[in-house]
Homo-oligomer: A and B are copies of this chain.
Amino acid sequence: MILANDDALRLLQLRLGAHKPFGVAERELLASLPWRVEDMPARRSFVREGDKPKHSCLILQGLLARARYTVEGQRQILSIHVPGDMPDLQSLQVPHMDHDLETVVPSRIAFVPHAELRRVCDASPLLASSLWRESLIDAALHRAAIFRNGQLEAEARLAHFLCEMYLRHKAVGLADDGGFDLALSQQLIGDVLGLTLVSINKAMQALRARELIRMEKGHVDVLNWNSLSRLGQFDGAFLHLEEKDASLAATG
């Protein structure tokens, strides 16, 4: 359990410190956060629409989905989250949940009380702005989804989604050269892309036939990144993964 707590700290430092290098004060504040780690089976909805959570979570292992349901019970997945993400960080400032948070595969989740997050944010504007920035990248993912689901047809939509998943896995060291694990059923991908599993199946076969990807047994191989990203009109810049730009430092 101590180990899992260290994992949380390491992941968070990696994520937040990538953009703005932290000083000693920020590192100590981060290390002071008390995490509660929990292992959960697949398909567990542990935060519900309407809830007012008192914690935010950090994914250590696995995959989470944020989802809303129609009155007919159809699921729209709003986003898929990978280790290192804090998918309900927004509940810190906007207490009322407008969607569910559920595991996709068996996952290890670390929880931290909102009160503790507020404490470190108040103590360090730099840390606060880092967390703020994280939630803004989350919004950028949402915008990519609106664009993808609104303007691309099935094949391109799937290509776009796989491009995003690949880069986000790679950014946290969960993808090797051209391949990564992604245990999503076609039904679930349909719920992400606003399509039925039949359409996903056809689109998947089309991508395979074009030799752009290989996807089986929960593993994806990207065979032709250039063609895949072109087909999906995918621009990785919105993920804001590698901002080496120091221009933020300007204050006058």
Identify the closest chain B residue to A54 (Cβ).
Answer: B250
A177 interface residue per 8 A CB criterion: no
The CA-CA distance from A250 to B54 in the complex, in Å, is 10
In the complex, what residues of B have CB within 8 A of residue A235's CB?
Answer: 98
The answer to whether B143 touches A68 (Cβ under 8 A) is yes
Interface size class of A (residues with CB under 8 A): 35 or more
Q: Which residue of B lies closest to A140 (CB)?
A: B98
Contacts of A103 in B (CB 8 A): none
- Please determine whether B240 and A94 come into contact, CB atoms closer than 8 angstroms: yes
Tell me the A93-116 residues at the B interface (CB within 8 Å): 93-96, 98-99, 115
User: Which residues of B lie under 8 Å from residue A149 when comparing CB positions?
Assistant: 146, 149-150, 194
- Distance (whole angstroms) from the CB of A201 to the closest CB of chain B: 18
Which listed residue, B70, B93, B147, B248, touches A129 by the CB 8 Å rule?
A: B93
Tell me, yes or no, whether A132 is within 8 Å of chain B by CB.
Answer: yes
Do B96 and A133 have beta carbons less than 8 Å apart? no
Q: Which of A166-193 contact B (CB under 8 A)?
A: 193
A-B contact pairs, 22 of them (CB 8 A): A70-B151, A70-B233, A76-B151, A78-B143, A93-B132, A94-B137, A94-B140, A95-B248, A96-B243, A115-B251, A128-B129, A132-B132, A135-B135, A135-B136, A139-B139, A139-B142, A142-B142, A142-B146, A146-B146, A146-B149, A149-B149, A149-B150
